[in-house]
Chains A and B, each alone.
Chain A
Amino acid sequence: MGLLRYIAVRAMLIVPTVLILYTLVFIVLRILPGDPVLAVLGTKNIPPEQLEQIRHNLGLDKPYIVQYFEYLWNVLHGDFGTSMVISGRSITADLLERLPATVELAIAGLIVSLAIGITTGFIAATKRDTKLDLGLRVFGSVTYTLFIPWLGLMFQLIFAVWLRWLPASGRIDPDVGLETVTGFYILDSIITGNMEAFRSALSHMILPALTLGLVLSGPYTRLVRTNLVKALESNYVLAYHARGVRGSRILLHAFRNALIPVVTYAGLQFALLLGGAVLTETTFDWPGIGTYLVEKVSYRDYPAIQAVVIVFAFFVGVISLIVDLIYALLDPRIRY
């Protein structure tokens, strides 16, 4: 069957992608000045023998090629290693704890950006060449240029400090005592029926999701508008009119055609979404991979940084595969 074969091939293509990224980050980390030992201890008067001893314990004295393959071997066995900074701390455990937070934020951000982008693009296309259309297009361009930490700060100032409607940072009120099942707080609070936790998790989610979603919505506005305008001008729309099909139905058919490129773009943008999530997390103190990465980079915690890159690369690969499959559902011309 063509589809299964296609999925298999695409899944295999994820492997070289991840490998290349791992290699790149491995090299870059070793080229950059400083190493985990110096980053933690600073340049205090530590006897060189002792430094050597610490490096030996961490495996940093081994040849790079050995370090490279040893780490790869461990990852293939599901072990992302232990932190070089906090001794004995399992990176796999860290990732499992923090990944759901990032994915939850990314999904929320994606939903917000699609909701804003598709709505504004749809309105702009149907009210084409009016002031509203112009306004929405400007809105789409301006929001895209906004810097996430700045926008986040503005939201915090307005909604958390001045209006006091929403919490300024964090992921959940620590007092609500949520029992984690999946690590996705909103999902967990629904599963356990903890309404208080649900409200808290949701209210903490709103500002970060809005920040991330708003900044990423601009391209969707443009994409939906352009494609819907193009679809509405196409010959099949004229033919629908000539056969007496209702305008609202024609709009729906044109919209479906216009959404196809949007799905492709959403897939391509997933990497951007994760990047944006990193910035959003640091702004809102969101305990996800982003804040984790920033913390680890400043300590040159090699295995942790490598682990994050591998996990991100893997995610981007999987998501783009899923998007391709959705694409095939929307467009019958695509056959694998």
Chain B
Amino acid sequence: MSKPILIVEDLTVYYYTLKGIVRAVEEASLKAYSSDLVALVGESGSGKSTLGYALLNLVPPPGRIVKGRVIVNGVDVLSLRGDELRKARGSLISMVFQDPFTTLDPVRRVGDQILEVLLEHGVPLEEARERVVEVIRAVGLPERMARAYPHQLSGGQRQRISIAAAIALKPRVLVADEPTTALDVIVQKQIMDLLDDVRKTTGMAIILITHDIALAAERATKIAVMYAGKIVEYGPKDKVIGDPLHPYTKALLKSVPDIESREWPRPIPGTPPDLRKPPSGCRFHPRCPLAMDICKRKSPNIVEVEPHHYVSCWLYEGGEASG
């Protein structure tokens, strides 16, 4: 297999709030290869968006990346500073946000906003102008839309423009934070089709942050399940959906209504923990039906149970030596 395009190692992000330290992301590790669509699924507050921002070294204050590495195409994004970091954003790794109604500057023409990305990364004006036209066509919009202001476009069109601005420099990794949540189902499908198309034609890896497990099951190549700031299970989509290992993943899958199944969805009892005071040991143990004594005391490591299928649970750590 070729080299991974994105390597995330031990990424840890805390928010230093007045009410205490929020351990939003704890030692997250991931790998993504060219054309991968890695879905990062989890409940609200599980830290998936924070992880997304951290990939661009763009965690808003009072958040701080405490440790870890994010390597995109061989470049450690977290070690970059100043102008190097700025130039890496957009050209190496870029991002699309949830709400297309607020992520474009309301007083500037959308074409100018795309053009600016190119110019800011040193693309000469003439070439940049041509690229704007190209990229607007590539996201399925007519060329003349470049002259529109955001308020003149629909939600789907704005999200297409946001994607165009994010991929104008052909970054290797695109973080998409709930890109379709604010849109209706038809437009949702169109946007996901567009992201699939971009990924397949450019080889870009997409990190799709979503709470919609059905969407992840439909579109992803790999799925990472997050719970309370930790990646609890990670692997190829078919494995994670078809043969889930972690009790949380199993419970999460059962909690989603399925039109073909006769079973009623079963909610997970309890609530996610307060990340200022996460539970000791495994963070899921208070809600876990299979919790053992050790789960309360020690946090399990993430282990590769079968090729490319990782899980962080004492049920699977068994005899392996671990600290």
Hey, which bits of chain A sit against chain B, CB under 8 A? 234-236, 238-247, 249, 253, 256-257, 260, 330-333
- Establish whether residues A243 and B105, one from each chain, have CB atoms under 8 Å apart when the complex forms: no
In the complex, are the beta carbons of B106 and A249 less than 8 A apart? no
Q: Which residue of B lies closest to A240 (CB)?
A: B105
User: Does the CB pair B106–A243 fall under 8 Å?
Assistant: no
**Known: A238-B60, A257-B106, A333-B149. Contact between A246 and B97, CB under 8 A?**
no
> Are A333 and B151 within 8 A (Cβ)?
yes
Give the residue among B95, B102, B116, B121 with the most A Cβ atoms within 10 A.
Answer: B116
Q: State whether B87 touches A236 (Cβ < 8 A).
A: no
CB distance from A148 to the nearest CB of B (A): 35
Does B157 sit at the interface, judged by CB under 8 A? no
Complex contact A243–B94 (CB within 8 A)? yes
Known interface pairs A249-B120, A333-B151. Does A239 touch B95 (Cβ–Cβ under 8 Å)? yes
Once the chains bind, are A239 and B162 in contact (CB under 8 Å)?
Answer: yes
The minimal Cβ–Cβ distance linking B14 to chain A, given in whole angstroms, is 19
Q: Which 6 A-B pairs have the closest CB atoms?
A: A244-B90, A244-B89, A242-B95, A235-B102, A243-B90, A239-B103
Q: Given A244-B121, A245-B120, A257-B107 in contact, is the A234-B89 Cβ separation under 8 Å? A: no
Q: Which chain B residues border A235 with CB–CB below 8 Å?
A: 97, 99, 102-103
Q: Is the CB of A244 within 8 A of B87?
A: yes
Instruction: Give the docked Cα–Cα distance between A240 and B95 (Å).
Output: 10
A252 CA to B6 CA, complexed, in Å = 33
Min CB–CB distance B53 → chain A (angstroms): 8
**Given A238-B58, A242-B56, A333-B107, 7 new contacts (CB under 8 A):** A236-B102, A239-B103, A240-B105, A241-B89, A243-B95, A243-B166, A244-B169
Smallest CB gap from A245: residue in B:
B120
Q: How far is B107's CA from A332's CA once the two chains are assembled, in angstroms?
A: 6
User: B137 within 8 Å of A by Cβ?
Assistant: no
B107: chain A residues at CB < 8 Å are: 256-257, 260, 330-333
A316 CB to closest chain B CB (Å) equals: 27
Provide the bound-state CA to CA distance between A241 and B86, in Å: 7
Q: Which residues in chain B, 77-128, are within 8 Å of chain A measured between CB atoms?
A: 86-91, 94-95, 97, 99, 102-109, 116-117, 120-121
- Which residue of the partner chain, among A244, A253, A257, A333, contacts B117 with CB atoms under 8 Å? A244
Give Cα A260–Cα B120 distance, bound, in whole angstroms.
26
B226 within 8 A of A: no
Chain A interface mostly? helix
Q: How far is the CA of A238 from the CA of B61 in the complex (A)?
A: 12
A253 to B107, CA, bound (A): 9
A236–B89 contact, CB under 8 A? no
User: Which residues of chain B have C-beta atoms less than 8 A from A256's C-beta?
Assistant: 107
Which residue of chain A has the shortest Cβ distance to B60 in the bound complex?
A238
Name B82's closest neighbour in chain A (CB-CB): A247
Determine whether B139 belongs to the interface, using a CB cutoff of 8 Å to chain A: no
B165 contacts partner chain A, Cβ-Cβ < 8 Å: yes
Please give, as numbers and ranges, the residues of chain A lying within 8 Å of B89 by CB-CB distance. Answer: 241-244
Can you offer 5 A-B residue contacts whose CB atoms are under 8 A? A234-B102, A235-B97, A235-B103, A236-B105, A244-B91
Residue numbers in B under 8 Å from A242 (CB-CB) = 56, 58, 89-90, 94-95, 97, 166
**CB of A332, distance to nearest CB on chain B (Å):** 4
A333 and B134 alpha carbons, distance in the complex (Å): 27
- Smallest Cβ-Cβ distance to A332: which chain B residue: B149
Residues of A within 8 A of B149 (CB): 332-333
Contact B120 A246 (CB under 8 A): yes
Residues of A within 8 A of B60 (CB): 238
Q: Which residue of B lies closest to A333 (CB)?
A: B151
Q: How far is the CA of A135 from the CA of B151 in the complex (A)?
A: 38
- Bound form: Cα–Cα A279–B312 in Å: 75
| With A236-B103, A257-B107, A332-B151: A246-B56 Cβ-Cβ less than 8 Å | no
Q: Roughly how many angstroms separate A245 CA and B106 CA in the complex, as a whole number?
A: 16
- Which B207-259 residues have a C-beta within 8 angstroms of A? none
Residue from B58, B165, B166 in contact with A241 in the complex, judged by beta carbons closer than 8 Å? B58
Instruction: For B91, list chain A residues within 8 Å (CB).
Output: 244
- What residues of chain A lie closer than 8 Å to B97, measured between beta carbons? 235, 238-239, 242
Cβ A244 vs Cβ B108 within 8 A: no
A125 to chain B, nearest CB (A): 15
Q: Kindly state the separation between the CA atoms of A257 and B151 in the bound complex, as whole angstroms.
A: 14
Give the Cβ gap from A129 to chain B, nearest Cβ, in Å: 11
In the complex, chain A residues whose CB is within 8 Å of the CB of B90: 242-245
**CB–CB B58/A333 < 8 A:** no
Q: Which residue of A lies closest to B120 (CB)?
A: A245
Q: How far is the CB of A234 from chain B (nearest CB, A)?
A: 6
When the two chains form their complex, are residues A239 and B104 in contact, meaning their CB atoms are under 8 A apart?
yes
Q: Are B87 and A333 in contact (CB under 8 A)?
A: no
Q: In the complex, what distance in Å separates the CA atom of A88 from the CA atom of B126?
A: 71
| Min CB gap A293→B, angstroms | 40
In Å, the complex CA distance between A260 and B169 comes to 32
In the assembled complex, the Cα of A247 lies from the Cα of B102 at a distance in Å of 19
Q: Which residues does chain B contribute within 8 Å of A330, judged by CB atoms?
A: 107
Complex contacts, A331 vs chain B, CB 8 Å? 106-107
The contact of A244 among B104, B109, B120, by CB within 8 Å, is: B120
Alpha-carbon separation in the docked complex, A243 to B86 (Å): 8
Chain B residue nearest to A236 (CB atoms) is: B105
Residues on B with C-beta less than 8 A from A238 are: 58, 60, 97, 103
> In angstroms, how far is the closest chain A Cβ from the Cβ of B95?
4
Asked if residues B106 and A236 are in contact (CB atoms below 8 Å), the reply is yes
Query: When the two chains form the complex, which single residue of B95, B116, B162 contacts A245, counting CB atoms closer than 8 Å?
Result: B116
Most buried by A among B60, B105, B168: B105
Contact check, A244 vs B88: say whether CB atoms are below 8 A apart: yes
C-alpha gap A314/B94 in the complex (Å): 54
